[in-house]
A and B are shown apart, each in its own frame.
Chain A
């Protein structure tokens, strides 16, 4: 998976707590994407970010979810006041400025469990 680093790999939160998922893209990649995967389903696009900008957040739930990709540091997906339905695997992917399918690299995912 060519260096997309996600942490934590596994996270357990109680209902109402906050979850923060981090993604460090491949070195030199300026585009970051977050996807969510529910059990036995395909990945669903959430948000597309470039440094300090949200380009497309059409897949993000309207409330409780936010994402950022600051000038310095990893991209963060933040889920406030988690509910059981937020339990899923969250994948980050990154790509360089000009990309084709094989230069979109996915991380190993962060598995969120809400209890």
Chain B
């Protein structure tokens, strides 16, 4: 079936560098995409979202890019900090609000 998937399972980043996490989606009906951060033993924490009629959205130190032509989503984290170490998930909304389809996740490890 259609699914959301991530290219890299683990990403090692040096503190202060920028991080880029990629996500491929296949459900063309999805109109909304969200990035979540999950720390060990905790629930998903909202980072940033983007609607399908946009191609870029910026937050504090984070930017989400959406390329509908190739069905690709990315999260950029500027000046990565140790506190950014976590698993990052992209999620899409094919229909109703809370029924999200999550990708498998990318582990981001920030090294000093």
Number of A positions contacting B (CB below 8 A): 27
Residue of A nearest to B4 (CB): A42
User: Which residues of B5-40 have CB atoms within 8 Å of chain A's CB atoms?
Assistant: 32, 34, 36
Bound: A93/B93 CA distance, A: 15
Which stretch of A13-21, A62-70, A73-81, A102-110 is in the interface?
A102-110
Number of A-B contacts (CB under 8 A): 68
Majority SS at the chain B contact face = loop
The listed residue (A41, A45, A55) touching B100 by CB distance below 8 A is A45
A84 within 8 A of B: no
Let me know if B45 is at the binding interface, CB within 8 A: yes
B44 touches A48 (CB 8 A): no
- C-alpha gap A83/B15 in the complex (Å): 43
How far apart are the CA atoms of A40 and B40 in the complex, in Å?
Answer: 11
B53 within 8 A of A: no
Chain A interface residues (CB < 8 Å from chain B): 1, 4, 31, 33, 35, 40-45, 48, 55-56, 91, 93, 95, 99-102, 104-109
